Amino acid sequence: MSKLQSENVREAIRVMFKESSEKKRKFRETVELQIGLKQYDPQKDKRFSGSVKLPRIPRPNMTVCILGDAQHCESAEKANTPAMNVEDLKKLNKNKKLVKKLAQKYHAFLASEALIKMIPRLLGPGLNKAGKFPGLISHSDIMADKVDEVKSTVKFQLKKALCLGVAVGHVEMTEQELFANINVAVNFLVSLLKKNWQNVKSLNLKTSMGKPQSVY
């Protein structure tokens, strides 16, 4: 049962949209969901981690790189998606700086089955350390759909602090689209928590440049 009052959320969305339209930025502002937790001890309690696919893509500008076999690299080229093949990866020569640079260049990676097993050997632990180990793309997948799926997915991961933030949308969405994304994200996060809503201290929504709006 969601304790999120839909009217509060809708009102927060309206305020954010109004602020954003009054002070137009040169970029598309992202809307972030900020979560404060309580009665949780990151030292003792299990640190949760989970990903959920949102109904709409929260960050359209997110870049995904394909680490592909010949067929996937060809599909990526047709789809205007950046791609690298085995030879490209070998050129990085497990150089930590170059692998780190690659990890910073893209938001996420997808790899062909043939390549995914070779990644630790070709690149070392760099992508994994950056939290960007590639997802799998198979030959039966439609590349554009798979890339959109990655762009639609947000990850909740508790580290040492009792606060989390994830992108749930942007200011060019409709109120309904953003509302649907927030709903899915919040309910999924609550399902990860040990005591569900009892562990939620606060929920705020915030645009890149705006003030936080409290919704719980």
Per-residue model confidence as pLDDT tens digits over 157-176 = 888 888 889 999 999 999 99
| Angstrom distance (rounded) from CA 47 to CA 57 | 26
Residues 133-150 as b/e (b if ≥16 CB within 10 A, e otherwise) read: bbbebeeeeebeebbebb
| Whole-number Cα distances in Å, 57 to 1, 49, 122, 191 | 25, 20, 31, 21
Paired with 37 in beta bridges are 200
Report yes or no: 58 and 167 within 8 Å, Cβ to Cβ. Answer: yes
In tens, the pLDDT along 130-151 reads: 889 999 999 999 999 999 999 9
Q: What percent of the chain has pLDDT over 90?
A: 61
pLDDT at 1 over 50: no
In one-letter notation, the amino acid at residue 46 is K
Q: Which residue has the higher pLDDT, 119 or 1?
A: 119
63 pLDDT higher than 80: yes
pTM to 2 decimal places: 0.84
Q: Quote the CA–CA distance of 91 and 157 in Å, as a whole number.
A: 32
Backbone Cα Rg of the chain: 19
* Structure confidence by residue, pLDDT tens digits, 91-125: 988 888 999 999 999 999 999 999 998 899 989 89
Instruction: Lowest mean pLDDT of 8-22, 34-48, 50-64, 80-94, name the range.
Output: 34-48
Task: Please check the confidence at residue 128 and state whether its pLDDT lies above 60.
Answer: yes
Residue 6: the pLDDT is 84
pLDDT at res. 146:
93
So what's the pLDDT on residue 2? 65
Six-digit token string for 100:
């780190």
- Distance of alpha carbon 76 from its chain centroid, rounded? 21
Residue 154: Cβ-neighbour burial (10 angstroms; 0-12, 13-18, 19+)? buried
Average pLDDT over the chain, rounded to an integer: 91
